[in-house]
Structure 1
Amino acid sequence: MTAGEGRGGKVRRWALRVALALGVLGVGTWAAFQLSPWPSVLLIRWVFDRGAAEASEALRKHLPAGVTERAALRYDATDPDALLDVYYPPNVQGGHERLTTVVWVHGGGFVSGRRQDVAHYLKILAARGFVVANVDYSIAPGATWPTPTRQVNAALSYLQAHADALNIDADRIVLAGDSAGAQIAAELANAITSPDHARRIGITPALAPRQLAGTLLFCGPYDAGLVQWDSPFAGFMRTVLWSYMGRKDFLDDPRLDAFSVARHVTPAFPPAFISAGNADPLEPHSHAMAAALQKQGVRVDALFFPKDHAPPLPHEYQFNLDSEAGRQAMERSVAFLQGLREGGAVPSATVERSDGQGQ
């Protein structure tokens, strides 16, 4: 064997070793993704965190002057994740005025997200004349269903107990949320107004039904049966529901029926504003939720868009206040909340064209 051939043999041996190592790594990686939701969850968190940071930064230029806040209030002394912020319109904090209070639950697919993600948006909303509470909760896989709903219920108990100090009208509470947070808000609203659903999910509501004035629900997943398991979106939903339900075989979990809140709404559900973008994979859930509520005789104001709306409106479109649709969603939300505050009528469900004309 020549010296050159010896070097070639070494190279081939090293190449073989690298190939074997990569093969083992590939098998190990595949096994990791099959045995636990964590690898996929970490990827989702990385993507979602980047998107949330970009959306928040884009809202910075819209921040109004004069909004004040009380930050990092602990709503459950036994829970390290139980923090909330409260935002106020100018010249309200510390005074005698008691305002309709929007309790907002952030999104993140149940596996990511934090209250800071939506802070800018909620300060903009608060400036329109409302107290807004921004609630943190524990995320999956570390916390499974219905832990976040129980935590938000604990937040309601805290807000009610400190209503005077926080300028809250405890008889004008609106549960609100985006994406996963919309499901949590809707689930808790149904538990507050339906004793059967409260028992179904194991919650003793912190509010009486009369205290819950309405709901604002953006882009939520309200019925697991509406997921298209052969779609490109299916892999994400498998990871999310595996994480949140705590079982890889979540489709066989009888609790998934209770999670699917659109199946269980009652006539006592409060008036609802519901919206989603026309390019949102979860848009069918919002249509189904609106239809289920209307069937029960609940007053619904629904903001949907034609399938050919351009530009296409993605999941969480409402956070883009540089777009006409995002601004429209904000104005419709404010009008809905003002109607609740003033005791006015809430419109029946409508579908809005991109030019704002009803369809």
Structure 2
Amino acid sequence: MLSIFRSTALVLMLCCGGCSAADLVNAATSRSGYEVQHQAYAPGPRHGLDLYVPDTVAPDAPVVVFIYGGGWVSGDKQTYLFAGQAFASRGYITAVPDYRVYPEVRFPDFMDDAAEAVAWVAQHEKTPDGKPRPIILVGHSAGAQIAMLLALDKHYLARQETPVCNTVMGVVGMAGPYDFLPLKQERYKKVFPEKTRPASQAIAFASRDEPPVLLQAGTGDTTVDPGNSRRLADRIREKGGRVELKEYKGVGHAELVGTLAAPLRHVAPTLDDIDAFIKAQAGKSAPFCR
């Protein structure tokens, strides 16, 4: 049976020609209460980010960096207006960066792009007293793999002189692949050269010494096995780390990120759960690792 998200999108697309589901939720997304600034975090056409700045931002509010998915082969920041608006509606400055994808690059080059974007945000987004705002990393699908690996394998941000433990207040993975070896599909074998594959698995870097983690997975996901989230949660707990796992009954892969959009928030409380996770970190200061 089609999920609510798929059913809604299907009906609307039948009335909208070639519109995508993202086009439709973006069309229904409010343009008020925030402004969007277009910034370059590094030279190159895939090194831009959209910065969603709410009309009102609390002095100590963290910045959300949302990393979209696309199977490491596609994606565009403009598609995720609904996600930027979602977090901005809760009072968080939100950065949505582009990054290079296959075939232009392979793993780990897109990791370095994401690390550069996070470093740019850390350098440019300050509290009223001039201190860097802490960062909450949020990623969906391939973007969740990138976000989680940035937080758990600390060398990417260290190379940008942006230490994880002083910068990343928490990390949220939505429907992410964290433990996906061996690779079965040829297209992913091209994205991840064989010698790099062990370093692509976030689960291999789980430890006690990491920021708090929130994992979200839909039990109806047939694109990324929800077992990835369950296994990572178990591994982090085994290591003595801090992790929450939220599972949403019957929600599929695209539906999970779609529930950030205002018209679809009734499907699953993903935004409320992320907001609660962020608020639970309020008042904490660096280092954010144990």
Which deviates more, 282-291 or 319-328? 319-328
For the residue of structure 2 that corresponds to 1:185, the secondary structure is helix
Quick one: percent identity of the two aligned structures? 23
Q: Report what 1:217 is aligned to.
A: 173
The yes-or-no answer on 1:86 pairing with 2:71 is no
User: How far apart are the structure 1 equivalents of 2:71 and 2:20?
Assistant: 16
Q: 2:147 aligned to 166, 185, 199, which one?
A: 185
Correspondence list, 1:190-201, <5 A? 190-192=152-154, 198=155
Structure 1 runs not aligned, ≥5 long:
1-49, 193-197, 230-236, 248-252, 345-359
The secondary structure found in structure 2 opposite 1:170 is coil
Task: Give 3-state SS (helix, strand or coil) of 2:52's partner.
Answer: strand
Q: How does 1:1-359 map to 2 (within 5 A)?
A: 53-63=20-30, 65-71=32-38, 73-77=39-43, 79-92=44-57, 97=59, 99-164=61-126, 170-192=132-154, 198=155, 204-208=159-163, 209-225=165-181, 229=184, 237-239=185-187, 241-245=188-192, 247=193, 253-281=194-222, 282=224, 283-305=226-248, 309=249, 312-318=250-256, 319-320=258-259, 321=261, 322-323=263-264, 326-343=267-284
Query: Where does residue 353 of structure 1 map in the other structure?
Result: none
Give, in angstroms, the shift of residue 123 of structure 1.
Answer: 1.1
**Separation (CA, whole Å) in 1 of partners of 2:278 and 2:18:** 28
1:326 Cα offset (Å) = 4.2
Q: Check whether the contact 1:99–1:168 (CA below 8 A) recurs between aligned residues.
A: no
Cα gap change, 1:154 to 1:146, in 2 (>3 Å): same
Q: Which amino acid aligns with 1:314?
A: G
Q: Which amino acid letter does the alignment assign opposite residue 332 of structure 1?
A: D
Query: Alpha-carbon deviation of 1:294?
Result: 1.5
Tell me the secondary structure at the aligned position of residue 62 of structure 2: strand
Contact 2:221–2:252, Cα closer than 8 Å, also in 1:
yes
Q: Matches of 2:274 and 2:110 in 1, distance apart?
A: 24
Higher alpha-carbon Rg:
1
Q: 1-side partners of 2:23 and 2:129: how far apart? A: 26
Distance in 2 (alpha carbons) for counterparts of 1:171 and 1:100:
5
1:58 CA drift (Å): 2.1
Q: For each residue in 1:227-280, what CA deviation from the matched residue of structure 2 results, as whole angstroms up to 9, or x when unmatched?
A: 6x5xxxxxxx431x12312x5xxxxx2321111111221211210111111121
Superposition TM-score, scaled by structure 2 size: 0.81
Does the C-alpha gap of structure 1 residues 135 and 144 become closer, same or farther in structure 2, counting only changes over 3 Å? same
Greater RCO, 1 or 2 (C-alpha within 8 Å, sep 6+)? 2
How many residues align? The count is 263
Structure 1 residue aligned with 2:14: none
**Structure 2: which amino acid aligns with 1:133?**
A
**Residue identity matched to 2:191:** Y
Alpha-carbon distance between aligned partners in 1 of 2:96 and 2:105, rounded to the nearest angstrom: 19
Distance change >3 Å, CA 52–CA 191, structure 1 → 2: farther
Q: How far 1:170 moved relative to its partner?
A: 2.5
What is the Cα-based RMSD across aligned positions, in Å?
2.9
**Greater percentage in helix:** 1
Q: Any stretches of 5+ residues in structure 2 without a counterpart?
A: 1-16, 286-290
SS of the aligned residue for 1:160 comes to: helix
